[in-house]
Amino acid sequence: MLKAQNLTKRFFGLLAVDSASIDVEEGSITGLIGPNGAGKTTMFAMIAGFLSPNSGQVAFEGNDITGEKPHLRARRGLARTFQIVQPFAGLNVRDNIAVGAYLHTKDPREARSLASQTAERVGLGRELEKLASGLTIAGRKRLELARALATRPKLLLLDEVLAGLNPSEIRDVLPIIRSIRDEGVTILMIEHIMQAVMNLCDSVYVLSQGRMIASGEPRAVCNDPAVIEAYLGHGAAERIRSEGAADA
């Protein structure tokens, strides 16, 4: 469904993403993980059209969209959430979500009605009248998810929607993400929380210092020594192996 090939992004001297590729299969939940600063959000921005790559291509459903503006990609069915959640604080929950719905309708009543339905899907059905500024972090994350969903995406890019949530809030959101996929929306998610990645993802890509260092089935990827080293530092995989041997 999505093929990002050899994407490279330089910020002045810094090589933020270095010839990284991702393939997302229709109907899947695909994870993108990696340490802080690895280039994950930059990769999303290139896929969604908010940043143009220095080189490489993005294809969506077989069409090359590399040079296309974000709103045109959104019309094709590509939506993203933002890691830094910035709702319109002075608007209520319904109207914040309706902002997404206006992609497909000019009729405010229809947009609000779609917004209300979308709020139900993410568990905000009882907070429609509440000002966005009055939501908790968990509520804002749900709102961000709903705003993207209201654009009726085929592919939803989630940038750390679980970050800042406590374990019980995470447990509440995992089934929502799964149900979105089950309703036919393909998902590519950046996530730090391994429990979520293991639970949800069909396959996982690992970015480290701008390079894609591993990909595959989540369990295999998380046991890959190169991945462990990327997270925990040089020699970590060996240390874990020898500690395991000492415990046995």
Ligand X SMILES: Nc1ncnc2c1ncn2[C@@H]1O[C@H](COP(=O)(O)OP(=O)(O)O)[C@@H](O)[C@H]1O
Within residues 9-68, the interface with ligand X by CB under 6 A covers: 11, 14, 16, 34, 36-42
CB of 184 vs Mg ion, minimal distance in Å: 27
Is 7:43 a contact under the CB 8 Å cutoff? yes
Q: Do residues 123 and 135 lie in contact, with contact meaning Cβ atoms separated by under 8 Å?
A: no
Q: Are 41 and 9 in contact (CB under 8 A)?
A: no
Query: 115 or 190, CB closer to Mg ion?
Result: 190
Least distance between ligand X and beta carbon 12 (Å): 7
Binding status of residue 208 toward ligand X by CB under 6 A: no
Closest residue to Mg ion: CB criterion = 41
Residues 6+ apart with CB under 8 A from 224: 206, 214
CB neighbours (10 Å) of residue 13?
Answer: 5
In DSSP terms, 207 is beta-bridged to: 212
**Count of residues interacting with Mg ion (CB under 5 A):** 3
| Shortest Å, Cβ 243 to ligand X | 28
Of 95 and 191, which CB lies nearer to Mg ion in the complex structure? 191
Tell me how many residues contact ligand X (CB under 6 A): 11
For ligand X, the closer CB: 13 or 184: 13
Interface of this chain with Mg ion, residues 24 to 83, rule: CB under 5 A = 40-41, 83
- Kindly state the smallest distance separating residue 74's Cβ from ligand X, in Å: 21
Quote the tokens at residue 141. 């994350």
Handedness of CA 43, 48, 54, 59 (dihedral sign): positive
CB distance 230 to 213 below 8 Å: yes
Smallest gap from Cβ 200 to ligand X, in A, equals 19
Length of the chain (residues)? 248
Which whole-number Å values give the CA distances from 157 to 138, 144, 181, 231, 240, in the listed order? 18, 11, 12, 23, 33
Q: 53 touches which of Mg ion, ligand X, none (CB within 5 to 8 A by kind)?
A: none
Q: Give me the residues that bind ligand X (CB under 6 A), please.
A: 11, 14, 16, 34, 36-42
Q: Give me the residues that bind Mg ion (CB under 5 A), please.
A: 40-41, 83
